[in-house]
Amino acid sequence: MEDKLDISVVEHVMDLARIELTDEEKEQFAYDLKKLFDDVDKITTIKNYDEERMTSPVSHNAEVRDDVCKEEISFEEVKKNAPRTSANFVEVPVVIHE
């Protein structure tokens, strides 16, 4: 296969991205884009590529609970566990400073 893509493809991408490149930059972009496509082709040749993807290298056995509405607790109950309150608010330490 060629070492680079056709310049017309590069010019089409330039038009979509609304960028301007010199002739030298077009040549380099064509070469780089071709290398990128070759790398993607290599990835798709990996055995079992189309099978289920692994989201974590470790197996997780987390149980999923049903989403059930429960009775809300009153602010009086919340205040019992809050270190500081002011009117109907729970006071928390400042974490963002200007």
DSSP string, 36-81: HHHHHHHHHTSTTTTSPPPS-SS---PPPPP----PPPPHHHHHHH
Domain housing 24: 7-44
Question: Does residue 34 belong to any structural domain of this protein?
Answer: yes
Q: Is 66 a domain residue?
A: no
CATH of the domain at 18: 1.10.20
Our count of domains for the chain comes to 1
33 occurs within a structural domain: yes
30 lies in some domain? yes
Residue 78 lies in a domain: no
Instruction: Note the pLDDT tens digit of each residue in 33-59.
Output: 899 989 988 887 877 766 677 777 787
- Locate tokens 């400042």: which residue? 94
pTM: 0.44
40 lies in some domain: yes
pLDDT digits (tens, 9 = 90+) for 56-86: 778 778 788 888 888 888 888 888 888 898 8
Backbone dihedral angles phi then psi of residue 37, each to the nearest 5 degrees:
-60, -40
Residue 86 inside a domain? The answer is: no
